Structure 1
Amino acid sequence: MLPPVKKDQIITQLPKCFSPDAALHTKDGFHPQVKAVCQVQRTDTLSFNVAKVIVVGDVAVGKTCLVSRFCKGGFEKNYKATIGVDFEMERFEVLGVPFSLQLWDTAGQERFKCIASTYYRGAQAIIVVFDLSSVNSLAHARQWLEDAMKENDPSSVLLFLVGTKKDLSSPDQLAHIEKEAIKLSEEIRAEYWAVSAKSGDGIKDFFLRVASLTFEANVLSELEKSGSRQVTDIIKITDRTEAGRRPRKRNSSCC
């Protein structure tokens, strides 16, 4: 039996974006259809929803620290390069519905790139990480995204551009690189965040936002696939993998 979801990972309201200038959307709440479906289904048996999230970027930009800080609550001072891919699973409850993020932390070293790229396929969100104290790592972000998108459908993936090591940048440095990062975010249609794994600044807010937006996208995708005009026609919200393996069940009336 699975343990209860952590209290601070129970989401009842859509978390705010980091910057309105570079957000996937700036709405105050979840899509009305998403809220309606979750309200109807709250007391029913729901499939356990899972979204695959891949984390890419240059070596030593802080990808592993980003994931580890959120999942384990600590900061590892001693750097250890990821070999291939590391994997973490985090559980949430969004609008009363169980939901999980599969976080795939991929290697940034060139010699492991071919191994890591085999895990890119099927992502529902891509987090491109760069170091706020390194202009070069931001310049490489576009290539990392292009490589990841070769294995995915651009129309069904949410993109996030995340600057790490915020604690190492002076205010002037941060202002300069953030200007460039927001510009890139607009070009690639990604949501921008600046965080610090060392201090924890912005980490939890960021992942709550990722979970919320991927959940919302999953539900809207299921509604679109079903062709349903009535939220009561949706009996189960299934993750994409399950939806591909078995037919969705429908019922003309709500239980």
Structure 2
Amino acid sequence: MEEKGNVLIDNSRTVGQLSAAGLLAKMTTAPYNYSYIFKYIIIGDMGVGKSCLLHQFTEKKFMADCPHTIGVEFGTRIIEVSGQKVKLQIWDTAGQERFRAVTRSYYRGAAGALMVYDITRRSTYNHLSSWLTDARNLTNPNTVIILIGNKADLEAQRDVTYEEAKQFAEENGLLFLEASAKTGENVEDAFLEAAKKIYQNIQDGSLDLNAAESGVQHKPTAPQGGRLSSDAQPQKEGCSC
């Protein structure tokens, strides 16, 4: 993205289900009233509730009959971190192995990664090492990764203890919490804690905003009535959002 006067020109291009033109049209409908954009990805096995977590965060509703994601889905929400408006661009990736080649392309340029497992299915916990390896290899070294044990409302069916997941997180330098997409417990905190850590990294200089892979864009808030322009044509490079 680049700014020309009071108009923001979007020169990025997305891949996958959401076209660049579609994303650009979506962005032109809202005032440019945030100072930062943070790119997030949500990763983890199929059926752990990644899409439900995204829906609960963006819509504050639980999808009881949540279909499996095919490829990648997208959601946004503006939050406030230390007095700054931050727009989260959240890419929800499919958990099936057959989509891994496609979804890996979305890891690039992610400022935050939510790695999700199901506390009632040990197999989803056992696969975390594989997901973490992908995240470490395909994102930048400063990407904030938060481990989320979803379905905390199903305590009676628990198959993974809080203590062992916390130990895994500590050993791998991850943030960690358990949440419930159904009740909303800790869902807000999961996205906000990652954003706070990213913002902290910006403030202490460990995250270089000029680096293409940072996953963060910093733009001054536009005057009231400022709009995004759809006049520019997308470039042919990969997504840098």
Structures share fold, TM-score greater than 0.5: yes
Which has the greater radius of gyration?
Answer: 1
Alignment partner of 1:210: what SS? helix
The Cα shift of 1:207 comes to 2.0
Instruction: Say if 2:95 is the partner of 1:108.
Output: yes
Instruction: Name the aligned partner's letter for residue 143 of structure 2.
Output: V
> The residue matched to 1:166 in structure 2 has which SS?
coil
Counterparts of 1:1-255 in structure 2, within 5 Å, are 2=30, 48-154=35-141, 156-170=142-156, 173=158, 177-221=161-205, 240-241=216-217
Change (3 A) 1:63 1:225: closer
Deviations along 1:80-107, whole A, 9 cap, x unmatched?
Answer: 1111111111112223322121111100
Overall identity of the aligned pairs, in %: 33
Taking structure 1 as reference, are residues 95 and 80 closer, same or farther at Cα in structure 2, changes over 3 Å only? same
Extract unaligned runs of 5+ from structure 2.
1-28, 220-241
Distance change in 2, residues 1:4/1:116 (3 Å):
closer
In structure 1, distance between residues paired with 2:208 and 2:103:
31
* 1:204 partner letter: E
Q: Alignment RMSD, CA only? A: 2.7
After TM superposition, give the deviation of residue 239 of structure 1 in Å. 7.4
Where is the strand percentage greater, Structure 1 or Structure 2?
2
Structure with the higher fraction of residues in helix conformation: 1
| Count of residues in correspondence between the two structures | 188
Q: Which has the higher contact order (CA 8 A, sep 6+)?
A: 2
TM-score w.r.t. length of structure 1: 0.66
Report the TM-score, using the length of structure 2 for normalisation. 0.70
Q: CA deviation at 1:4?
A: 9.9
State the 1:2 CA deviation: 4.1
What is the distance in 2 between the residues matched to 1:190 and 1:223?
Answer: 17
Q: Matches of 1:163 and 1:48 in 2, distance apart? A: 31
Partner of 1:39: none
Local SS of the residue matching 1:221: coil
- Give how far 1:188 is off: 1.2
